[in-house]
Chain A
């Protein structure tokens, strides 16, 4: 039984059945969602206007997640504190902070040309910033062996 429990916590395949890890994702997701919601309220534009707030949220989140995940991969194995950080901050906070659904529904509220520009700008810049986050972690975080 003890062995089963240890295996459960060290294999990522069944991490989604671990109540502690689910709790970490929940808390992180709630926090990230609250930040996005408050920013949305603070910088709300009229419906159909260029969605600056969502764009800024999604692009900053893409950079930060690239930076975080690459830094974690470089610093050691996906166990202990590193896994808690990946799930709590990465899957939870960053996942809850950024949004694909709002991005898409906002797109449908724009006219053709701004809609196309919004989709292309968000998707291309998001991928480039995620790549930049990965590159920044590669430049700053040394490859460590501490498990």
Chain B
């Protein structure tokens, strides 16, 4: 039952990613994949909040709720495969440095976002 709930939330996360990526792409032109970047940073931030909230036993988040929103929504929303293919494509079309910059920027910004989310989640738990 929980797996079904996680799956549905993952589906919603994937649709949200599809829509956010397309909307960001419509507004921001250029070779840097801003859509996926924004999605991965945002999803890492939210999972940070949820993880800290569960650790601190926040009364607004049950373990099932954490699994649905974290493993389900955040996992379905963020994507490692697209980020990797975009990096490889930048390597192939724009050279090693542009691809590596994108990969590094995503990792550093997402990590900072996760840490910020963990700090915020501990406060509001």
Contact = CB atoms under 8 A, between A and B. Distances in A.
Interface of A: 13-16, 22, 25-34, 36-38, 40, 58, 61-62, 64-66, 69, 87, 91-92, 94-105, 107-108, 119, 122-124, 126-131, 133-134
A104 B76 contact: no
B14 interface: yes
Nearest to B14: A29
Given A37-B67, A37-B71, 15 more contacts: A26-B12, A29-B11, A30-B10, A32-B14, A33-B13, A34-B4, A34-B10, A36-B75, A96-B11, A100-B43, A101-B70, A102-B74, A103-B80, A104-B111, A105-B44
Interface string B1-41: 00110111111111101110111001000000000000010
Contacts of A119: 107, 111
Contacts, number: 202
A97 B71 contact: no
B76 A123 contact: no
A15 B7 contact: no
